[in-house]
Every structure is written in C-alpha cells, then in structure tokens.
Amino acid sequence: MIDIAIVDYGMGNLRSVQKALEHVAPAASIAVTSDPDVVREAKRIVVPGQGAMRNCMHELEIRGLREAVMEAAVHKPFLGICIGLQMLFEESEEGHVKGLNILPGKVVHFPATAMTTADGQKLKVPHMGWNQVYQAIKHPLWEGIAEDARFYFVHSYYVETTDSESIAARSNYPFPFTCAVTKDNIFAVQFHPEKSQLAGLTLLSNFAKWTPNF
C-alpha cells in the first residue's frame, strides 16, 4: 500500500512536490499516480495543481479521478495545494466552473480596483512571490512553523469561504484573504509548500505524520 499518493491529473508541479515529500518522509512510499484505484488505496492524498480551473476540473473528470479525490477528502488525510485548494469549493469565477463542492464558498479573482497599497503603489496580478502567512488557528500542520512565516505564492484567484471556522490562515495582498483552510481530515493551502524552503518542508513533514481526529 502506498503511504502518500500525489494525484496526477495532468496539471501541477508534481515532481517538486514528490521530491519535497521524499526529503521530509524518507521512510514513506510515495507515488505520483493517475490511477483512481491507487488513490483509493493510499493512506494519504496530496492534490497539487497549477493552471486554469476549468482545465483542471476537466482533466480530473476525464481521467476518472473526480470520485476518488472526493472519497479521499472524506476518508483520509488530504492535502490540497493551490488549485488543489480551490477545487474543494462550490464554484470559481475562473471559467465559471463548478468545483467539488466539499467546502462552502467560491473562488474569486483579485479585484483590479483594490490592487493598490495604502501609499498608492499598484500591485500586480498574479500575486507572485513570498508573503507572510498568519495562522488563524492552532493545527498539527502548523507545528514548528512561526505564526507569521513566509511562504511562496503564485495565483490570481483566492477563496472566499462562508465557513469562518474552516479558515486556517490568512495573508494580505493588499487586503486579508484566506490562504489556508481545514476541516476534519482536510488541510489545503493556496501557497506552494514545496517551494517555500524550511517552512514549507516543515508543513509537508507534519502532513506526512498527521493523524486527524474525525
């Protein structure tokens, strides 16, 4: 049985995620897979993703992975990264596509009218680079990570959730936005832990050891 399955639906920075997990969990068996049966049998699931939401959801569907991912989000430790976070919600403004509807809320674009700092500096979209992440709750995946640690972001859309209790962290660009959520066995982040040096590796190490109470 695979310890950690990284879901391959043709979209995402899979090898970087794999290498980072292999570094922090050298004793674990880790596989990049597009096989729904392997996803179902693995002990833990990581769903990374980059690119357009519509393409991601389409590829998930045609590869037969949608149901396996939804089952994993209910039954086993689940880590979503970037689009792997966004797809958990009801819908996205990007392509006006439906998500998996596992968590309440929607994915919205950074509004052009708000992308200005207090001193009048224009901010670019996508939000790209290092930014501080402010933890909203205590969680096993934050263990050993400073409450205002910096992580690496690349995104033009962010989630607006209607469940405030699921918010695990926020960042600012230039206004506060949700950048991590959690519920039961799910933990999902907008930033890229595999690109975030020590803080990111610590989060991945915590996930490899996490046993949710649900």
The SS3 of residue 105 is strand
Residue 100 CB: number of other CB atoms within 10 A?
A: 18
> Amino acid letter at 82?
C
Clarify whether 127 is annotated catalytic: no
Amino acid identity for residue 98 in this structure: K
DSSP letter at 72?
Answer: H
Strands of the chain (E only): list them. 4-7, 30-33, 44-47, 78-81, 91-92, 97-98, 105-109, 127-132, 134-135, 150-155, 157-161, 167-172, 176-183, 186-189
Q: Is-cis flag, bond preceding 174, omega within 30? A: yes
Nearest-angstrom CA–CA distance, 102 and 69: 11
Check 56, 82, 94, 155 and give the catalytic one.
82
What does the block give as tokens for 113?
A: 């009218």
Q: Radius of gyration (Cα) for the chain, nearest Å?
A: 16
Indicate which residue of 127, 155, 179, 194 is catalytic.
194
Mark whether 82 is an active-site residue.
Answer: yes
194 annotated active-site: yes
Task: Specify the pairing of strand 44-47 against strand 78-81.
Answer: parallel
User: Which residues are the active-site residues?
Assistant: 82, 192, 194
